[in-house]
A and B are shown apart, each in its own frame.
Chain A
Amino acid sequence: MVDTSLSGFEEKEHTADCKLKVWGQDFPQLLTMAAVGMYALMGLQLEKEPRLERSFRIAFSDPEDLLVSFLNELLYYIELEELGFDRFELKIDDRELTARVFGSYIASLSKEIKAVTYHNLKIEHSSRGLEAVIVFDV
C-alpha cells in the first residue's frame, strides 16, 4: 500500500492533453506514483482475480528517460495484454531498472493515452523528495 501523505499525484490544467504532477520520497516511489496517477487519468479499474505478475528491465540514460520509458512500458501492457498493475517492486541502479509488477486484467478503462512525452520534463528535488510534471498525449 502506498503512503499518500508522502507521495501522490495531482492533475494539472493543459489545453489539449493531460498533465500530471507526481511526487515521491525517492525515485522508485516517484515512478510508482506516476504509474498510479496515469492509471487514474485513464480511469483504469482492475479485475479482482486472477492476480498476475510481470517482470521487465529498462536501460536508461537519465532519470527523465526512465520515467517516460517506464510509463510507456505500462501503456504497452494495457494495450497488448489488457493488464494493469497495483503493486510495484522497483530496483534502480545507475543505468537500469529491474521491475516486478503485480496486478490483474483490466475491468474498465475510460480514456486512451497515446503516449508519455518528454515535454518540459524535469525530475526535481523538493521538500517532499522528488517531483515531476508529466504531459501525456491523449
Chain B
Amino acid sequence: MVSLSDLKRINDYEWEIPTKVNENMQVPVRIFATRKLLESVMEDQSLQQAVNCATLPGLVGHVVIMPDMHQGYGFPIGGVAATRYPEGVISPGGIGYDINCGVRLLSTEIMQDEMTAYLEDLASALNHFCPSGVGVKGRLRLTDKDLEAVCREGSLWAKKQGYASQVDLQRTEESGRMEGANPTSVSDRARQRGRDQLGTLGAGNHFIEVEVVDQVFDPQVASIMGLKEGSLTLQIHCGSRGFGHQICTDYVASFQNAVKRYGIHLADRELVCAPLTSPEGQAYLSAMRCAANYAFANRQVLAHYARQAFEQTLAGKINNWQLNQVYDVAHNIGKIEWHTVDGELMKLCVHRKGATRAFGPGNEELPEEYRAIGQPILVPGSMGTASWVLVGSEQSMQRSFGSTCHGAGRTMSRAQAKKKIYGEDLRKSLQAGGIHIRAGSLSGLAEEAPEAYKNVDEVVETVIQAGLARKVARLAPLIVVKG
C-alpha cells in the first residue's frame, strides 16, 4: 500500500512516486493534485493501482495521474500511460470497458432569460427524443453491413445518414473517425450487442445536460468556440455502449493467454496487455478503434436527436435555437501519437483512462479555427454542479502526454451514496435549485449525487495551476437527463 510518505513533493500541485517504491516499476508516477485532493484518495487503491500500472513493459516518461483520480479496476481512473511504439504494449484495461466514453459540447445563441418558460418542455422533449436508461434500446436497427460501416467510418457514417454536418465532424477528436478500424477484429457477440444500441445514452454517470454559460474567463477564446455569457449549451456524456463493453471483455479474456505467451508478469490480471505489434495487440487496436468510431457515431446520433428536441420545443418561439458543435473529446481511449520524452521525439501508444486529450496551440490535429487557441477540453462536473470548458496548453504536451482531467472524480462509493442520500430528496433539492431533472431511476440518481464526487472547481483549479490547461468558461446546469 502506498502512503503519503512514499511521495516526493515537486510543488503544491505536483507529486511523484519514485521507482524505488516498487522494484518492478518501469517509470515513476507523476500525480497532479493538491495535498487535500491527494489525502482524499489515500483510503482507496488509486495510488497502488498507479504503481501497478507503472510496472507494465515498454512505458516511457511517467505514468501520469490527474486530480480527479479515483480507484478503478486495474488502472486508476484519471490515469495516462504511454508505451513506446512498436516495442511497448497495449492494455485493454488501460482504456476501459466503455471505449471512447467521452463528452460533446454544443453551443447556442439562446439566452437564458428568453428560455425560462420553455425549460420544462425542453427537458421532456430531450427525454423523449434521446433514449436512455438500463436496457433501453435505440430506434436504429443496424444490419451487419451498417454496423461495419459505423465501425470503419464513425461520425462520417452518421453524416451520410443525415445525422451530422461537416462542421460536426471537423470539431470532433479524430474528426469522429479513427483510421485502422477493421470490423473483422470484432466478435459476433459485440456485433449483436451493437446492433440496437446506437443512439442511446445508457445509464450510470452518463447524461445529457442543458447549461448556461455562467462565467467566461477568456472572452476571445470563448467567442471562437461560440460561447457567450448567459447563452445556453448542451452537453452529452456517453460512450460505445454494450458494443464497446463486449470488445473490451473479449480482449481482456483473450489477453489472459497472451501475457503467458509473451512472458509478461503482471501485478494484477486486469492489467493484461500484449505487444503493440503482436497479432493480439494489432487485433485489439483495430477492435478498439471500431468501438471508438461507434462511440463517436453514438454521440453524433444523440446530438441529432437533441437538435430534434430543440426544434420541436423552440422553433417559431425563439430565434436561432440551433445547436452548434463546439467539440467532442474521448476520455477512455488508446491513441498512437508523437510526443517528446526526455528530449527525444517518440511514437507512442497513449492510454487515457478517465483523462482527456489536451493538445496545445499549433497542433496540426486540431481544426483550423482552434489551432491558434489549443484544443477545447470538456470537463463535466457532477450532477447539479458546474462543468468547465478549458483549452490545452504547451505544458500539457511536455508534462502529461497532452492530457488533462476528465471530470470531478468520485469520492464516495455508490452503496454509501444510496445509504446517505434519498433519490427523491435529491430530485426535490435539485429542482428547488432551478434544475429540471429527468431520471430513469431514483436510486441511480442518488448514486450520482454531487456529494459523492470531489469538487470539480478544485480539480480544475489544480490542472490550471499545474499548467496543463487554461480556463475558458464555466457552465451551470439547467436541465439534466439521466438514464
- Residue ranges of A at the interface with B (Cβ–Cβ < 8 Å): 11, 13-18, 42-43, 61, 64-65, 68-69, 72, 76, 78-80, 82, 106, 109-112, 114-121, 135, 137-138
Contacts and interface: CB of A to CB of B under 8 A. Distances in A.
Counting contact residues on chain B (CB < 8 A from A), the size range is 35 or more
Contacts of B272: 118
Contacts of A16: 70-72, 77, 410, 413-414
B79 interface: no
Nearest to A13: B413
Interface string B75-98: 001000000000000000100111
A15 B97 contact: no
B256 A115 contact: no
Nearest to B415: A11
A115 B248 contact: yes
Contacts of B411: 15
B143 interface: no
Task: List 9 tightest A-B contacts by C-beta distance, closest first.
Answer: A119-B73, A118-B269, A117-B73, A119-B270, A115-B97, A114-B97, A114-B245, A15-B71, A13-B413
B88 to A, nearest CB: 21
B253 A69 contact: yes
A110 B202 CA distance: 12
Nearest to B101: A114
Interface in B197-228: 202-204
A92 to B, nearest CB: 18
B179 interface: no
Nearest to B73: A119
B414 A138 contact: yes
Contact of B73 (A42, A80, A137): A137
Given A16-B410, A114-B245, 12 more contacts: A14-B413, A15-B411, A76-B193, A111-B443, A112-B202, A115-B97, A115-B249, A117-B74, A118-B256, A119-B268, A120-B270, A138-B204
A119 B242 CA distance: 20
B441 interface: yes
Nearest to B75: A119
A17 B72 contact: yes
B203 A111 contact: yes
Nearest to A138: B204
A68 B249 CA distance: 10
B410 to A, nearest CB: 5
A43 B444 CA distance: 11
Given A61-B257, A80-B193, A15 B443 contact: no
Given A110-B444, A112-B203, A117-B74, A15 B44 contact: yes
A74 B462 CA distance: 42
A135 B49 CA distance: 14
Interface of B: 44, 46, 70-74, 77, 93, 96-98, 134-135, 189, 192-193, 202-204, 242, 245-246, 248-249, 252-253, 256-257, 268-270, 272, 410-416, 441, 443-444
Nearest to A42: B134
26 contacts: A13-B413, A13-B416, A14-B71, A14-B413, A15-B44, A15-B46, A16-B70, A16-B414, A18-B414, A18-B415, A43-B443, A65-B256, A76-B193, A79-B193, A80-B189, A80-B192, A109-B135, A110-B443, A111-B443, A112-B203, A115-B245, A115-B249, A117-B74, A118-B268, A118-B269, A137-B245
Nearest to A111: B134
B414 A79 contact: no
Contacts of A78: 135
A78 to B, nearest CB: 8
Contacts of B202: 112
Contacts of A13: 413, 415-416
Of listed A13, A64, A116, A137, residue having the most chain B CB within 10 A: A137
Contacts of B98: 114, 137
A14 B414 CA distance: 8
A39 B242 CA distance: 18
Contacts of B192: 80
A114 B202 CA distance: 10
Nearest to A11: B415
Contacts of B44: 15
A15 B134 contact: no
Contacts of B415: 11, 13, 18
B270 A117 contact: yes
Contact of A79 (B74, B97, B242, B256): B242
Contacts of B413: 13-16
Nearest to A121: B269
Contacts of B70: 15-16
Contacts of A79: 135, 193, 242
B268 A110 contact: no
Contact of A111 (B73, B269, B444): B444
A98 B117 CA distance: 60
B47 to A, nearest CB: 13
A137 B256 contact: no
Nearest to B133: A112
Contacts of A43: 443
A118 B74 CA distance: 8
A11 B419 CA distance: 13
B204 A64 contact: no
B412 A15 contact: yes
B176 to A, nearest CB: 23
Contacts of A109: 134-135
Contacts of A82: 135
